[in-house]
Structure 1
Amino acid sequence: MRLLVAAATTFELDIFTSHLRQHFQEINENHFCKENLEVYICITGIGSMQTVFSLMEAMTIYNPHFCLQAGVAGSFNHETALGSLVIVREEMLGDLGVDDHGRFRDMFEIELMNPNEKPYVKKKLVNMFQDFPMRLNLPYVTGITVNTVSGSNNLIGHRSEYFDCDVETMEGAAFHYVCLKKKVPFLQVRSISNYVEPRDRSKWQMKLAIENLNEWMIANLPES
């Protein structure tokens, strides 16, 4: 099996990559093998544009059987514990639209995009694959992907109400879009590093989120 693991930054996967170096044969940079399991690490860079390019390039080279996107996320739901993990099943484009006299309207609302034209389903990029090589032992959530992370009460309130979403990232929708278009089974797993609230990094739990994410990935590696 060929597994492609994508993340925006190297530090989100440092622990996992160290585990691979210790327990797998390193074929070349970011490419590991153990018996019949190959793992390729794809550091996409931050944002949708870099994610699409990096994923397409990696898929062309590696031709994976399964793709996993792993990283941190902000949660709109304050009942979700910091450091906890979720599976993002549905993704939406959180800031692709127009400012119509102070009111945001997305591309579907202004009828420049069809909300049900594949791979979209009612505006959403939905993971409908069934056969996963990893245990789905985490709660499902809906995410939005943005170019500018929410950091003010007005923007947070607007996005939460308009999209009725649970988490916010900068790459999730791009990952879903590429995998759906390429028809490659995939999973997006996020660890909650912070709440989506007026920006205050002193409240974030980045170290905890990354440690928990990497521990889950190591424990749930597909069998070789």
Structure 2
Amino acid sequence: MPHRILIVTAVAAEADSVAAGLGHGLGGPGDAELLPLPGGLVLRRHPGPDSGRIDVLVGGVGPAAVAASTGTALAYASLMDPRHPYDLIVSAGIAGGFPSRAPLGSVVVSAAVVAADLGAETPGGFLAVEELGFGRSAHPVPEALTGRIAAALAAGGLPHTVAPVLTVSTVTGTAGRAAELAERHPGAAAEAMEGFGVAEAAAGYGVPVVEIRAVSNAVGPRDRAAWRIGEALESLGHAFRLLGKTVFVELEPS
């Protein structure tokens, strides 16, 4: 059965880099079919390998917006084919990297997608939602999937790290906050704002999910002059160029 993949970004610039990396010109022959969805969303449907398809969705900023938009895309796909909405969902974009684990321009592949601030502050410290006795704050990603993605990136010479990616509602802007997150999540390599929302929607439909982030800035004191957004978008496109020729072709349909 042909592969069906959904890639969700926060903003259009990220979606453009992903699409360019996959080899689809945005405006040339063979460009994506544009499918309007409820809520003003537009799904860019690209032809994939072996008569499959790769859908790219600009889902919005933050976990709530992107959970709603990803859920909408999944509902639409399920109406079209209830047995087989997608084989894989990818939360993709740029992110802040913890400097000791993910330098600027490198790519982070999520070993887990973690809601870093979903829980409660107490006099004794932060309690994750699981410790409160309800909900979940992490979606682990199968090692078989992250291993194949990492192997493809390594073969293409793209620096990368496989590690937890944190989803935050407020981007880190101080050294104190960065140290707090690093202590609470010692293995984390990056923070962004959408991954957990995408993962929650994917889990509701039983579809595997992974987060892929290119590092544009260091997690820590906010310094816009030091950000390298252009370089990160180039790395993001490079990552999807490599994956489009390898992992996305080799997926086992669900």
- TM-score, normalised via structure 2 length: 0.75
Distance in 1 (CA, whole Å) between partners of 2:6 and 2:29 is 17
Query: Where do 1:20-169 residues align within 5 Å?
Result: 20-21=24-25, 22=28, 24-29=30-35, 30-34=44-48, 36-62=51-77, 63-101=85-123, 103-109=125-131, 111-113=132-134, 120=136, 124-128=138-142, 130=144, 135-137=149-151, 138-164=160-186, 165-169=188-192
Distance in 2 (CA, whole Å) between partners of 1:178 and 1:202 is 35
Pair 1:216 & 2:242 matched:
no
Write out the 4+ residue segments of structure 1 that deviate beyond 6 Å after TM superposition.
none
Identity within the alignment, % = 22
Distance in 2 (CA, whole Å) between partners of 1:214 and 1:15 is 5
Distance in 2 (CA, whole Å) between partners of 1:135 and 1:108 is 29
1:131 Cα deviation from its structure 2 partner: 5.7
Pair 1:180 & 2:173 matched:
no
Structure 2: stretches of 5+ with no match in the other structure: 36-43, 78-84, 152-159
Cα distance change on mapping 1:79 and 1:16 into 2, 3 Å = closer
Distance in 1 (CA, whole Å) between partners of 2:239 and 2:192 is 19
1:102 Cα deviation from its structure 2 partner: 8.1
3-state SS in 1 of match to 2:169: coil
Q: Is the 8 A contact 1:151 1:197 kept in 2?
A: yes
Q: Is the 8 A contact 2:111 2:143 kept in 1?
A: no
Q: Give the partner amino acid of 2:57.
A: C
Number of aligned residues:
215
Q: Deviations over 1:160-219 (max 9, x none)?
A: 111222211111122222223322123211101111011001111110010111122123
1:25 Cα deviation from its structure 2 partner: 5.0
RMSD: 2.4
3-state SS in 1 of match to 2:99: coil
Distance in 1 (CA, whole Å) between partners of 2:17 and 2:68 is 25
Moved more, 93-102 or 193-202: 93-102
Match of 1:5 in 2: 7
Distance in 2 (CA, whole Å) between partners of 1:130 and 1:179 is 18
1:73 Cα deviation from its structure 2 partner: 1.2
3-state SS in 1 of match to 2:109: strand
Match of 1:117 in 2: none
1:5 Cα deviation from its structure 2 partner: 1.1
Distance in 1 (CA, whole Å) between partners of 2:235 and 2:107 is 8
Cα distance change on mapping 1:93 and 1:25 into 2, 3 Å = closer
Cα distance change on mapping 1:98 and 1:203 into 2, 3 Å = same
Cα distance change on mapping 1:223 and 1:55 into 2, 3 Å = same
- TM-score, normalised via structure 1 length: 0.84
Pair 1:16 & 2:18 matched:
yes
Q: Give the partner amino acid of 1:45.
A: G
Cα distance change on mapping 1:91 and 1:174 into 2, 3 Å = same
